[in-house]
Structure formats: structure tokens, C-alpha cells
Amino acid sequence: MSFPKNFLWGAATSAHQVEGNNHNDWTEWEKLGKVKHGERSGLAVGHYSRFAEDIAIAKSLGHTAYRFSIEWSRVMPNPGVIDEQEIDHYRQVIAACRAHGLEPIVTLWHFTNPLWIDARGGWRSRATVDAFGEYVSVIMQTLGRDITYWITINEPTVYSSLSYLVGYWPPEKKDPIAAWIVIRNLLSAHKLAAGIIHRLNPHAKVGTANNLSDFVASRPDNILDRTLVPFAKYWHNAWWLDATNETVDFIGLNYYFHHPLRFKVSGWRNWFAPHHPEDKSISDLGWPIVPDGLGTLLRWLPRYRRPIIVTENGLADADDHQRGRFITDHVSQIESVIADGIDVRGYLHWSLLDNFEWREGFEPRFGLIAVDYHTFARTPRHSAQTYKNIIQRGTTSG
């Protein structure tokens, strides 16, 4: 294996999915019984109190980086109110990463909003952009000197689409105009945050985590299928990258989906419904496993002339039958593109821990580390050892 020296090997989490006891717009929505089986995030997997244990396990598995998010609703529970105790909590998380030799990669916004932001209209309101800037300033002034890698916004196109276009996530809107306003406000928030970060820490590296899909025509000979592909690639993959490229130091790539698109005439919302071939392996959530798609995206991204970090890549696999091969095959794609001169600087598996998977609840198991939801006992899966072996070989080669 051939990887650059200082290549970042690790895994990722997000605050709401693992911490427990959050109070934000998602927890309010969960009370309405919208999550599968009526579940609520509740204590999640107790990472808030067990972060030191979890980071130590990550170290034992060979990781050199840990991506986590700061929960805005904890740090600023009310307008203009800063909870110093919560700031100190995240300071301890960063210190634990440093103590174990893991590079902290901090996400500032991973889908959840404080209740007071939600009450003001959430991301439909331009005031949320300014409030986000205040939040980022607080984080930079208190924690900024200790962090090199910052992710301002996680998967903006996913959030704007699922929350405001198809109505699958809160606030369950089906309004294209609202979706456009939200994505534009997220763009403004990113640019504002990037400027604040670069001003207060000139050595910081700023990026966004972008859910990019490998779109292809389901029926290559069908002109309508072929016509959908460039349209989907632009709006889902390229638009945000084009708009942010001058403000980022690296591109974060979240890769989960290979989408063979098939045109349907049953309404515009179904135009992009993927057609899943029966000959592909699938995860527990029915997502096709196509490692080649990662290679395709990595070979497309150099047009932006920025280093790339794979900030998420994983699958739901409760029995752990596929995860080891999944990691091996996706890392092989990264190795291949690096050999061709493409600047990829890290791979962060999703997820470090089993977690609360948004509307799907606790059933999908994404973790390298299995969590007993009754006792919170942690048990690294066999695939975690497979990943450790890959890291050891990659580190040695670097």
C-alpha cells in the first residue's frame, strides 16, 4: 500500500447521533413519533460522558484522526447566552484527542439547530446566518487555537432537500422555494464562518463535508436517462462546490451512493429516483455497495484544485459481514487515485460508534464499535481490526 506520510486515518461521529441528552429542533420533532418505531435519541450512545473511553478505543484501533461535531444548542442554549461548561466539555474532547495522538477534525453544524433558532424560522431566515456567525466566533475565540481542521457545514444539499424539498426530515416542508432559500442561507453561513475562522486562526484548514453521489444512466441507450445525469451531477455535486471553492482549503467528500438514474413520468419529485440493480451487494438499509463510485468522484474532484479528505464513508451492517470488505475496497480506490497523483489526504469511516441514524433510529448499525444500547458497553467489531491492519500497512508505506 502507498499512502502519503501524515495521511489521516480515522472515523467520524456527529453530536446529536452519539452524545445523548441534546435539546434541539430534532429532539422536539422526535416527540411527534416521526422516527422509526417511535424512537427518540434520548441518551443516544452516551458519548457525552464516555468520549475519553471512545477516543482511547479509537487510538487502540490505530486511528490518527477523529471527526466530531460541536452541538450548537449546547454551547448557545439561548440567544446571546454562552454555556461555559459546555465549552469546557468540548475543550476536554479536544484534549483527549491530542493526548492520544488523534487529529481533531471539528464540524460546526451537523443538521441540528437550537430551539430558539428553530422558533425564528431556522435556515429559512437570514437572521440564522448572523446567529451562526456569532456561534462560530465564540467557538474560535474559546477553542480555535487548538484546531487545524474545520468543517463548517455538513451535507448542505442533503439537508435542504430532505428537510425542505421532499419533507422527510424536520420541518417536513415540500417547498422548492424554501429549499432554495435554505441552501442559499447555508452558503452564506459557510462563507461567513470561513472568513471568521481564517481571520482568527490563519493556519486553520477550512472545508465543508459534501455528500457527493456517483450518478449514471440506468439505461445508457435511453436519452431521457442520460439527460438526467448531468442535471443531477450539477445540482447535487457541483453547484455547492463551485460556489464555495474560493473559500475552502480542502474538499470533504462523504460517499455513500451510486445512483443509476431512470426517468419516470409520475411527477418531478420522482425524476431522480434511483434504480438499484439486483446484482449489487446492498447494506442493511438497502443501499447498493459500489466502491468504484468513490474512485469516479475522486478522479472528478481535482478540477477544484484542492486537497481531498474522505470525511464519511460507511454502511449499515449489523452482522459485520460486509464492513471489512467494504473498507478494504473503498480504501483501494483511494490508493489507486493517489498513485495517479490525486491529492487525497485522509479517510474517515462512518461511523466510529453505532448511533442514532436520524429518521431511521437506532436500528441501522454503522459503527466500527458495537454499542449495547442497554448497558452502553463498547465492543470493537471484527471489521475494526481489518481497518486497523489497513492503517498499519498504509502508515508503514507512508
| Cβ pair 310, 344 in contact under 8 A | yes
Placement of cell 498513485 in the chain: 339
- Of 19, 155, 312, 357, catalytic: 155
Which grid coordinates belong to 366? 454503522
155 is an active site residue: yes
Cis omega before residue 351 (within 30°)?
Answer: yes
Q: How many residues does the chain have?
A: 398
As a whole number of angstroms, the distance between CA 264 and CA 259 comes to 14
How buried is 148 (Cβ within 10 angstroms: 0-12 exposed, 13-18 middle, 19+ buried)?
middle
As a whole number of angstroms, the distance between CA 14 and CA 46 comes to 12
As a whole number of angstroms, the distance between CA 131 and CA 217 comes to 42
Residue 45: CB partners within 8 Å, gap ≥ 6? 18, 20, 353, 354, 355, 356, 371, 373, 376
Q: Which residues are catalytic?
A: 155
